[in-house]
């Protein structure tokens, strides 16, 4: 029988160190951010109810994996949330030890959701998906420069674009192999590809960057995707709702998928058209369609059944 998990932990992550604040302890303990330090950390926080770390551009991932391997629940939160919480609670000083304590207070007050288990295959896929996005961004920047470049420079830009295109092809092949190598990811990809508007790239983004998909309640899904309407009300005044937060890469992939689904999915098209006929602005109707599509995808992955819709040809 497992002992009950009774305490929370906040960790401030840097390249070299892990500053750890444990509920019920007065001092913040520092561990090295290396294999030995992470092993010592896992032993020190064994039995925690939840460990919370900030997303720090990748420095946190080794710690996340070490704690997951030790069966310790962990949540990764946006640094902006932590800083907003610190300002709201009057904690304006910023040091590594202060940050660790702020993260602990945030963990106790907000109780962020534990992230699902991340295996090595999904980490490798996420890195490839990120690299693909970087290549696309670089190619767009080079094409913008090409428009006004003199001939001598245009030749050099052309060489760079050719190199980026070649690397993009290699990354796409590597993404396909990474998914095929993991039976669970391959099964999820096959289900996603049955959804109108979802292609190989969109499926890879959803698999890599929205691992909760298929295992999360529909009502909680809109927030991580970033399609939840946020209220802006005060007293009798009712402001316009806007979406905010969420994972931008997932939202972008879903946006492109929804544009296609509106054309080739009778269900999504009818939903979007009904909102437009009711007077909703195009962007409002589109976001609502995005929200409907991701909920339908969530259901497909929960039930392990492919998309089924009459007359879904012509895509």
- Indicate whether 102 and 124 sit together in one domain: no
Chain position carrying tokens 């520092």: 30
CA nearest neighbour of 179 among 205, 214, 148: 205
Query: What's the pLDDT score for residue 95?
Result: 83
Residues 6 or more apart from 41 whose CB is under 8 A from it?
A: 11, 18, 20, 31, 63, 66, 67
Residues 6 or more apart from 193 whose CB is under 8 A from it?
A: 199, 200, 203
Flag whether pLDDT at 244 surpasses 60.
no
199 in any annotated domain: no
Query: What's the pLDDT score for residue 91?
Result: 75
- Indicate whether 81 and 143 sit together in one domain: no
| CATH of residue 40 | 3.30.420.10
Q: How far is CA 49 from CA 74, 113, 146, 255, 258, in A?
A: 9, 12, 54, 36, 38
115 in any annotated domain: no
- Indicate whether 237 and 279 sit together in one domain: yes
Are the C-beta atoms of 179 and 207 separated by less than 8 Å? yes
Flag whether pLDDT at 2 surpasses 60.
no
Flag whether pLDDT at 207 surpasses 50.
yes
Number of domains into which the chain is organized: 3
- Indicate whether 13 and 42 sit together in one domain: yes
Query: What's the pLDDT score for residue 79?
Result: 86
Are the C-beta atoms of 102 and 8 separated by less than 8 Å? no
Flag whether pLDDT at 242 surpasses 60.
no
Chain position carrying tokens 């049955």: 194
- Indicate whether 129 and 78 sit together in one domain: no
Query: What's the pLDDT score for residue 230?
Result: 52
CA nearest neighbour of 64 among 128, 142, 129, 122: 122
309 in any annotated domain: no
Q: What is the pLDDT of residues 47-89, one digit of tens each?
A: 999 999 988 877 888 899 899 889 999 998 888 888 888 888 7
- Indicate whether 216 and 162 sit together in one domain: no
198 in any annotated domain: no
- Indicate whether 174 and 141 sit together in one domain: yes
69 in any annotated domain: yes
Domain closes at, from 132, 166, 181? 181
- Indicate whether 223 and 176 sit together in one domain: no
- Sign of the Cα torsion 241, 246, 249, 251 reads negative
Length of the chain: 315
Domain closes at, from 90, 110, 130? 110
Query: What's the pLDDT score for residue 303?
Result: 93
Flag whether pLDDT at 238 surpasses 80.
no
Of the listed ranges 13-17, 34-38, 205-209, 241-245, the one predicted with least confidence: 241-245
Flag whether pLDDT at 301 surpasses 70.
yes
247 in any annotated domain: yes
- Indicate whether 171 and 231 sit together in one domain: no
Domain closes at, from 88, 110, 132? 110
217 in any annotated domain: yes
Main-chain dihedrals φ then ψ at residue 21, nearest 5 degrees: -105, 125
- Indicate whether 97 and 127 sit together in one domain: no
1 in any annotated domain: no
Chain mean position to CA 37: 27
- Indicate whether 165 and 210 sit together in one domain: no
Q: What is the pLDDT of residues 189-200, one digit of tens each?
A: 999 999 999 999
| Highest mean pLDDT of the ranges 91-100, 136-145, 216-225, 236-245 | 136-145
Q: At what angle do helices 79-88 and 96-110 cross, to 10 degrees?
A: 90
Mean pLDDT to the nearest integer, 8-32: 93
- Sign of the Cα torsion 240, 223, 217, 249 reads positive
Of the listed ranges 35-44, 104-113, 119-128, 200-209, the one predicted with least confidence: 119-128
Query: What's the pLDDT score for residue 163?
Result: 95
With a pLDDT cut of 70, the percent of the chain lying above it is 89
Q: Which residues of 72-111 are buried (b: 16+ CB within 10 A; e: fewer)?
A: bbbbbbeeeebeebbeeeeeeeeeebbbbbbbbbbbeeee
**DSSP-assigned beta bridge partners for residue 54:** 77
Are the C-beta atoms of 99 and 184 separated by less than 8 Å? no
Query: What's the pLDDT score for residue 236?
Result: 55
Other C-beta atoms lying within 10 Å of the C-beta of residue 142 = 18
- Indicate whether 234 and 272 sit together in one domain: yes
Q: How far apart (Å, rounded) are the C-alpha atoms in residues 177 and 189?
A: 12
Q: How far apart (Å, rounded) are the C-alpha atoms in residues 282 and 235?
A: 28
Q: What residue numbers bound the domain in which 128 lies?
A: 120-181
């Amino acid at each position: 029988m497992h002992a009950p998990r009774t305490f929370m932990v906040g960790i401030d992550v840097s390249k070299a160190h892990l500053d750890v604040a444990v509920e019920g302890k007065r001092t913040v303990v520092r561990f090295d951010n290396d294999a030995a330090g992470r092993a010592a950390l896992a032993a020190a926080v064994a039995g925690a109810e939840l460990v919370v770390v900030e997303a720090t551009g990748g420095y946190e991932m080794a710690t996340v994996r070490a704690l997951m391997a030790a069966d310790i629940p962990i949540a990764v939160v946006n640094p902006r949330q932590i800083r907003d919480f610190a300002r709201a609670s009057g904690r304006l000083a910023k040091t590594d030890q202060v940050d660790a304590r702020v993260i602990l207070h945030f963990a106790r007050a907000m109780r962020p959701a534990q992230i699902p288990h991340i295996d090595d295959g999904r980490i490798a896929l996420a890195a490839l998906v990120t690299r693909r996005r970087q290549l696309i961004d670089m190619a767009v920047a080079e094409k913008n420069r090409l428009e006004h470049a003199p001939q001598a420079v245009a030749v050099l830009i052309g060489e760079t674009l050719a190199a980026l295109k070649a690397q993009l092809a290699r990354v796409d092949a590597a993404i396909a192999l990474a998914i095929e190598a993991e039976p669970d990811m391959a099964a999820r990809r096959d289900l996603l590809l049955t959804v109108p508007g979802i292609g190989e790239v969109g499926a890879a983004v959803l698999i890599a960057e929205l691992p909760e998909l298929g295992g999360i309640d529909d009502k909680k899904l809109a927030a991580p995707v970033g399609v939840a309407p946020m209220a802006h009300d005060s007293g009798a005044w009712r402001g316009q709702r806007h979406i905010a937060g969420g994972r931008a890469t997932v939202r972008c992939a879903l946006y492109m998928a929804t544009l296609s689904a509106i054309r080739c999915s009778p269900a999504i098209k009818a939903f979007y058209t009904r909102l437009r006929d009711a007077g909703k602005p195009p962007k409002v109707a589109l976001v609502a369609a995005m929200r409907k599509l991701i909920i339908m995808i969530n259901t497909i992955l929960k039930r392990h059944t492919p998309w089924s819709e009459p007359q879904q040809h012509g895509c």
